[in-house]
Amino acid sequence: MRSQCLSVILLLAISCLLHADQVTLKNGDHLTGTIVKSDGKVLTLKTDALGSVDIQMDAIQSFSTDKPVYVQNSADKKTYSGAVTTQDDSVVVQSQPPVTVAKSNIAALRSPDEQAAFDKLQHPGLLQGWTGGANFGFALTAGNSETENLALAVNAARTGLNDKLSIYTNSVYATNNAAGASPSTTANVIQGGIRYDHNLTPRVFAFVGADFMADQLQSLNIRGVFGGGLGYHLIKTANTQFDLLAGANFTHENYDNFVNGIHMGTYSNNFAAGTFGEELTRSVTKNTVVTEKGYIFPDFNDFSQYRATFNLGTVTKISKWFGWQNSFGDIYVTNPPVGKKTNDVLLSTGINISFSH
């Protein structure tokens, strides 16, 4: 009876091994489980005993799957499906017909579930695939000084296989409530915008967008900038992206007109302008991302007149959804209303709450 039980256990163990993915390491160790994914450098194996295990591809002697997986070949930019086995420095995909892919050309390897999730991310619905964060900052003083400062910002982006839709808005509002303070509102700036990018090649993309701004202390009721152009990914790696952009825009500005403190109505500026800028996103550590943008908008009717913007920000993740943010912005115009300054500087710091959908 005991021998029969041992035989059954042995047969079950052999059956499990026959119906499991196999990984053999260069040190001779053997692992079984389900291969989940690989980016060509690290392979993730889901095991019953150890859970998910990340294994460096350089440490693997051979591996195989008993069920079809998806192998993305960087050499021909194609994805093949089938059970895989290793053969020297290559992987043989049992597709129809079988395909051999060099290990160095494996851009990705995915299980069926991972491939389905990947495909969904490449072609998200309009309300799917959004990632971003909301920033909040507030300061209050009372006693000898009575001030309130509020900074709010939201940034979100939806990235598809060949395009990207991004939106943003931020505002800074501050008051001085001390008796006799003039002006009592010391800052009231609102900015927002939307941009759509579409890749024409892996490096070149076209963009269209609209940006809006209102600044009470500069007497700016609204500035609308509508434009588009071409961009180039000068650097595009896992940790760094640096883009150059050039195009044209139509700018509409509406200001309040004050003479000796008396409101005399409004006036508007409408002009065509250029758009020249650069954008940088850099992961400086595992948890900290730095973003920087610099733009200049020369007036095509008078090149001595222009507007320039500069933005610098950092976000440091403390947890999966919570972090700390800092942002600095400078907006320069050569022709502000009479009595107004050419520069507006915005500085804020506070918490960041990340989200994804």
Q: What is the predicted pLDDT for the residue at 17?
A: 45
Which pLDDT does position 181 carry in this prediction?
Answer: 64
Q: What is the distance between the alpha carbons of residues 149 and 347, in angstroms, rounded to a whole number?
A: 11
Task: From 64, 61, 75, select the one nearest 26 (Cα to Cα).
Answer: 61
Query: Are 23 and 53 contacting, i.e. CB atoms less than 8 angstroms apart?
Result: no
Supply the DSSP symbol for 49: T
- CB-based contact 136:350 (threshold 8 Å): yes
C-alpha 301/C-alpha 270 separation (Å) is 10
How far apart are alpha carbons 71 and 35 in whole angstroms? 12
Q: Which of 112, 126, 118 is nearest to 161 (CA)?
A: 118
pLDDT at position 298, please?
Answer: 95
Going from the C-alpha of 262 to that of each of 161, 237, 256, 259, 337, the distances in angstroms are: 54, 55, 10, 5, 14
Instruction: Assess contact for 282 and 240: CB atoms under 8 A.
Output: yes
> Looking up tokens 């900015």, which residue turns up?
191
Q: Tell me which H or E stretch contains 346.
A: strand 343-356
Beta bridge partners of 185: 175
Query: At the top level of CATH, which class does the domain 130-356 belong to?
Result: mainly beta
- For 23, counting Cβ atoms within 10 Å of its Cβ (0-12 exposed, 13-18 middle, 19+ buried), the class is buried
Region of poorest pLDDT, from 1-15, 116-130, 207-221: 1-15
- DSSP per-residue letters across 34-93: EEEEE-SSEEEEEETTTEEEEEEGGGEEEEE-SS-EEEEETTTTEEEEE-EEEETTEEEE
- 3 state SS of 279: strand
- The 8-class DSSP code of residue 105 comes to G
What single string gives the DSSP state of each residue in 299-317?
ETTEEEEEEEEEEEEEEEE
Mean pLDDT across the stretch 223-235? Answer: 96
What is the pLDDT averaged over residues 75-90? Answer: 91
Please state, in angstroms and rounded to a whole number, the distance separating the CA atoms of residues 245 and 241: 13
Q: Sketch the domain layout of the chain as residue ranges.
A: 2-122, 130-356
pLDDT of residue 356: 74
Quick check: 321 and 313 in contact, CB under 8 A? no
Both tokens of 291, joined, read 């973003």
Mean pLDDT confidence for 47-60: 89
Q: Say which range, 8-17, 107-116, 344-353, has the weakest mean pLDDT.
A: 8-17
Q: How confident is the model at residue 10 (pLDDT cuts 50, 70, 90)?
A: very low
Q: Point out the least confidently predicted range of 134-138, 190-194, 242-246.
A: 134-138
Distance CA 40, CA 106 (A): 5
Ramachandran region, residue 120 (left: φ > 0; alpha: ψ -120 to 50; beta: rest): alpha
pLDDT the model gives residue 121: 72
From the list 307, 275, 312, the residue with the least C-alpha distance to 293 is: 312
- pLDDT at 335 > cutoff 60: yes
Closest CA to 346 of 144, 135, 197, 180: 135
What confidence score (pLDDT) does residue 124 get?
67
Band of residue 196 on the pLDDT scale cut at 50, 70, 90: very high
Burial class (CB in 10 A: 0-12, 13-18, 19+), 286: exposed
The pLDDT > 70 percentage for the chain reads 91
Q: What global pTM score does this model have?
A: 0.68
